[in-house]
């Protein structure tokens, strides 16, 4: 089996989608930001029919993959050689399928184009009754679709089209308009071809319009249509800090079909080999290789936490995408370090320096050449990380978690957020002093990030209720009975005393508290771990661990000081834009049963039905806490909402870590100590928010905070960052269509 198939099963379908309507899908893959290797230097021939993985068995004829015939050669009356001509679209013989989509990439707007020449089909032209002409099914192989970025193409295939499972996009015409006239060779006819476009499991009726010209030797046609990526569950693409696409995508067929004899064997297999790339000579081993091995390879390696996005196993893998690596590092998308220079310097900063970014750009600009063999391994250079003692290695209390799968084995959802309980051993019944803490992923290829919470024993009843409710949902939906509960926002727990103690993402170092300090877990305290799983094509059972380094009896006797931690919840209120509000009002007036969710009261009612009676009260309580009303949030800056709230600090000492949390509409975040005073100090500034990277940041400098000191918490949200099928008011709560402005400050109290 080829490397590309192993790495990115979805590649095939993506290409097809583009071609046929696929364009819309491919479109989403336009973001270069996901550095991945589109071509393996040792790639085998990629065969879309390998291992019988394709579902389109009707396309396999005599060992080849071809488009269905438009003429039934077994029926002598199905084709009249005197009055009809047969034309055939042969893969790679002049025909082309393309997509055009509007994209905002790295802050710049552009139109992105992707094309493929691997498509096939047949057309029978009736010279006597032109309207009786027939267009057969057009089939597009999506594995070789190309834009100006190999990374974009692979990401589309992998995450959106899932092309290893659905390798072809298919368009089956059902009617043709514009041919109700006499036939003449060389005349350009305006036509509209309506048919069924199938992408993955979705089939919809679409109409391609354009011109067709027929000659004795060939048929030439150009047809286009506009489709919505959301209709096929392949867009719009919204990747924080990188790429955003429109929902509309223009798909175009430029067909060149040669005339063939009836009964002739189809020519041109829809399968393709991926060419082995050729590499220029350039400076790599002493300039770029050390940067990649220090900053990138620990995650982007086969079997690593980011390998399904991109594996940089060899020098050739990097050289094949040199321009893309330069792009994503140049806009600071990778490595994913979010705090700006307005923030204090933080421990374990893995961002690239200006000289490193410049070195990568210079290498790419010079052609991305190599001074080593392409198959030279790239090996992660282990950074000095202080390990924590494994006094307790705690797996999930209720067993391994396996994401929900469909009957065919594919994940029900690509992104899954799950909370599980980890019980802390306490044989003496006197609690535990935790000196060091580590989250250790089990299935590194699917564990994307985690947020870990300390939960008091008093929350046991709420946890039991959460699990019971999840069990009921699983039973109703026919899902497997899995441990834990779904928790997109935070832990989903509202009991007093629940607070986050660590945020983890690939590359995050263990937490080691200063000498004499620790996190005290009272008898019965639990740890709840919220893990974001990102599934590609399977859902392996995961049992990620919590590692605790606990204080000895002697250390406890010498005196331990509990780290103080407090969470600060502030308003999140983002009304609909005027245009969205008008749309919602019109639909409410004309569509029976339509609920106008641009009305805040309707959203609060929905939240109450979804969660509990307390949930819809939270937004109002937060407004009151900050001395404001909902009217303060009436005006958007275009599509951007903003919240600011000053609250007094609750602890005295030295700041240990700070954390900000929002959901996927989050645009920017800032936490400021002593705002609007000469002592003003920004504690955390994230100018471009990314939901996927939420960490506890530890300042290098010892920053003093006193109980009662004013702290300002600011959050920005952009309504365009996530696609909403129906416009709605966004307010504070747990769901994917809700938002938060949540902050945490951990403090080392004075001793």
pLDDT single digits (tens) 5-20: 222 323 223 223 223 3
Q: Is residue 724 domain-shared with residue 691, that is, in the same domain?
A: yes
Residue 582 covered by a domain: yes
Question: Of 562, 584, 606, which one is at a domain's C-terminal end?
Answer: 562
Residue-wise pLDDT for 33-80, tens only, equals 332 333 232 222 233 333 334 456 667 665 678 889 999 988 988 999
Residue 210 belongs to a domain with what CATH number?
2.40.128.110
In a domain, residue 359? The reply is yes
> Is the domain of 89 the same as that of 162?
yes
- Predicted structure pTM score: 0.78
Same domain, 222 and 300: no
For residue 341, tell me if it sits in a domain.
yes
Average pLDDT, the chain: 87
Whether 164 contacts 8, CB under 8 Å? yes
Q: What are the φ/ψ torsions at residue 132 (nearest 5 degrees)?
A: -90, 5
Tokens of 373: 């063999």
- CB distance 483 to 398 below 8 Å: yes
The pLDDT of residue 612 is above 90: no
| The pLDDT of residue 33 | 31
Whether 665 is in a domain gets the answer yes
Instruction: Provide the pLDDT confidence category of residue 119 given band limits of 50, 70 and 90.
Output: very high
- Contact (CB, 8 A) for 429 and 522: no
* 3-state SS, residue 27: helix
Could you tell me if 422 and 457 lie in one domain? yes
Domain assignment present for residue 86? The answer is yes
| Residue 742: domain span | 568-749
Decide if pLDDT at 699 tops 80.
yes
Does 2 score more than 70 pLDDT? no
**Which of 499, 532, 562 is at the close of a domain?**
562
Arithmetic mean of pLDDT, 449-466:
94
- CATH code of the domain covering residue 660: 2.60.120
Q: What are the phi and psi torsion angles at 164 (to 5°)?
A: -70, -25
Domain co-membership, 59 together with 134: yes
Q: Is residue 268 part of a domain?
A: no
Q: Are residues 317 and 413 in the same domain?
A: no
Kindly report the three-state secondary structure assignment for every residue of 53-116.
CCCCHHHEECCEECCCCCCCCCCCCCCCCCCEEEEEECCCCCCEEEEEEEEEECCEEEEEEEEE
Nearest alpha-carbon partner for 546 in 521, 527, 518, 563: 527
Is residue 387 included in any domain, yes or no? no
| CA dist., res. 729 & res. 454, Å (int) | 32
Give domain status of residue 328, yes or no.
yes
pLDDT tens digits for 343-360?
A: 999 998 889 999 999 999
Find the range with the poorest average confidence among 19-28, 346-355, 360-369.
Answer: 19-28
Do 218 and 312 fall within a single domain? Answer: no
DSSP line for 336-387: -----TTSPPBTT--PPPHHHHHHHHHHHHTT--BSS-TTPBP-------PP
Structure tokens at 315: 């020098």
C-alpha–C-alpha distance, residues 264 and 87, integer Å: 11
Are residues 592 and 694 part of one domain? yes
420 and 495 in a single domain? The answer is yes
Last residue of a domain, one of 315, 347, 365: 365
How does residue 511 score in pLDDT terms, banded at 50, 70 and 90? confident
One domain, residues 553 and 574: no
29 and 143 housed in the same domain:
yes
Q: How many domains does the chain have?
A: 4
723 and 599, same structural domain? yes
**DSSP output for 693-727:** ----B-BSS--EE-TT-EEEEEEEEEGGGS--SS-
What is the rounded CA–CA span in Å between residue 118 and residue 136?
A: 16
């Amino acid at each position: 089996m080829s490397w590309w198939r192993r790495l990115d099963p979805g590649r095939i379908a993506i290409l097809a989608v583009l071609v046929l309507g696929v364009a819309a899908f491919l479109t989403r893959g336009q973001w270069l930001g996901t550095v991945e290797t589109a071509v393996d230097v040792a790639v085998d021939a990629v065969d879309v029919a390998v291992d019988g993985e394709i579902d389109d068995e009707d396309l396999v004829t005599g060992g080849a993959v071809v488009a269905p015939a438009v003429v039934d050669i077994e029926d002598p009356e199905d084709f009249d050689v005197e009055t009809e001509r047969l034309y055939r679209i042969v893969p790679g013989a002049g025909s082309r399928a393309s997509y055009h989509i509007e994209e905002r990439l790295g802050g710049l707007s552009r139109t992105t184009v992707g094309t493929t020449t691997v498509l096939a089909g047949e057309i029978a032209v009736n010279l006597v009754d032109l309207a009786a002409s027939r267009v057969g099914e057009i089939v597009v192989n999506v594995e070789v679709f190309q834009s100006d970025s190999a990374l974009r193409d692979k990401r589309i295939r992998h995450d959106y089209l899932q092309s290893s499972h659905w390798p072809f996009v298919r368009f089956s015409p059902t009617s043709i308009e514009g041919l109700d006239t006499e036939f003449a060779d060389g005349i350009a006819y305006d036509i509209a071809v309506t048919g069924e476009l199938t992408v993955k499991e979705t089939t919809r009726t679409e109409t391609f319009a354009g011109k067709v010209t027929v000659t004795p030797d060939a048929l030439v046609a150009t047809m286009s249509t506009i489709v919505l990526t959301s209709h096929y569950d392949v867009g719009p693409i919204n990747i924080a800090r990188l790429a955003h696409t429109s929902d509309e995508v223009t798909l175009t067929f430029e067909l060149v079909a040669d005339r063939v004899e009836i009964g002739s064997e189809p020519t041109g297999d829809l399968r393709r080999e991926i060419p082995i790339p050729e590499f220029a000579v350039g400076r790599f081993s002493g300039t770029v290789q050390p940067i990649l091995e220090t900053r990138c390879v620990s995650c982007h390696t086969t079997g690593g936490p980011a390998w399904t996005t991109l594996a940089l196993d060899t020098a050739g893998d990097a050289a094949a995408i040199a321009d893309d690596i330069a792009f994503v590092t140049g806009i600071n998308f990778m490595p994913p370090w979010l705090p700006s220079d307005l923030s204090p310097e933080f421990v374990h900063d893995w961002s690239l320096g200006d000289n490193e970014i410049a070195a990568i750009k210079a290498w790419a600009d010079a052609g991305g050449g190599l001074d080593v063999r392409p198959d030279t391994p790239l090996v992660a250079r282990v950074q000095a990380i202080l390990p924590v003692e494994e006094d307790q290695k705690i797996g999930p209390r209720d067993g391994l978690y396996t994401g929900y799968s469909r009957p065919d084995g594919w994940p029900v959802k690509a992104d899954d957020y799950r909370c599980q309980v980890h019980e802390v051993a306490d044989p003496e019944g006197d609690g535990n002093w935790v000196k060091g803490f580590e989250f250790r992923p089990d299935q590194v290829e699917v564990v994307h990030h985690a947020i870990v919470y300390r939960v008091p024993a008093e929350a046991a009843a709420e946890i039991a209720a959460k699990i019971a409710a999840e069990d009921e949902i699983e039973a109703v939906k026919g899902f497997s009975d899995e441990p834990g509960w779904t928790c997109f926002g935070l832990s989903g727990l509202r009991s007093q005393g629940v607070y986050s103690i660590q945020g983890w993402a690939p590359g995050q170092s263990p937490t080691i508290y200063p000498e004499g300090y620790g996190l005290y877990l009272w008898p019965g305290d639990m740890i709840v771990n919220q893990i974001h799983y990102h599934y590609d094509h399977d859902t392996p059972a995961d049992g990620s661990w919590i590692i605790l380094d606990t204080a000895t009896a002697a250390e406890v006797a010498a005196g331990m000081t509990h780290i103080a931690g407090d969470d600060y919840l502030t308003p999140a209120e983002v009304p609909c834009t005027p245009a969205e509000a008008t749309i919602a009002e019109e639909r409410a007036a004309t569509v029976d049963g339509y609920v106008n969710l641009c009305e805040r009261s309707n959203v609060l009612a929905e939240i109450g039905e979804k969660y509990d009676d307390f949930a819809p009260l939270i937004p109002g309580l937060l407004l009151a806490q900050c001395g404001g009303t909902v009217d303060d949030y009436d005006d958007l800056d275009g599509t951007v909402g903003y919240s600011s709230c000053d609250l007094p600090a609750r602890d005295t000492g030295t700041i240990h870590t700070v954390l900000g949390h929002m959901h996927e509409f989050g645009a920017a975040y800032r936490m400021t100590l002593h705002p609007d005073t000469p002592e003003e100090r920004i504690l955390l500034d994230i100018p471009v928010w990314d939901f996927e990277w939420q960490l506890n940041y530890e300042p290098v400098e010892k920053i003093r905070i006193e109980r009662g000191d004013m702290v300002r918490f600011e959050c920005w949200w952009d309504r365009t960052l996530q696609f909403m099928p129906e416009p709605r008011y966004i307010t504070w709560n747990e769901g994917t269509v809700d938002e938060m402005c949540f902050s945490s400050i951990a403090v080392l109290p004075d001793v």
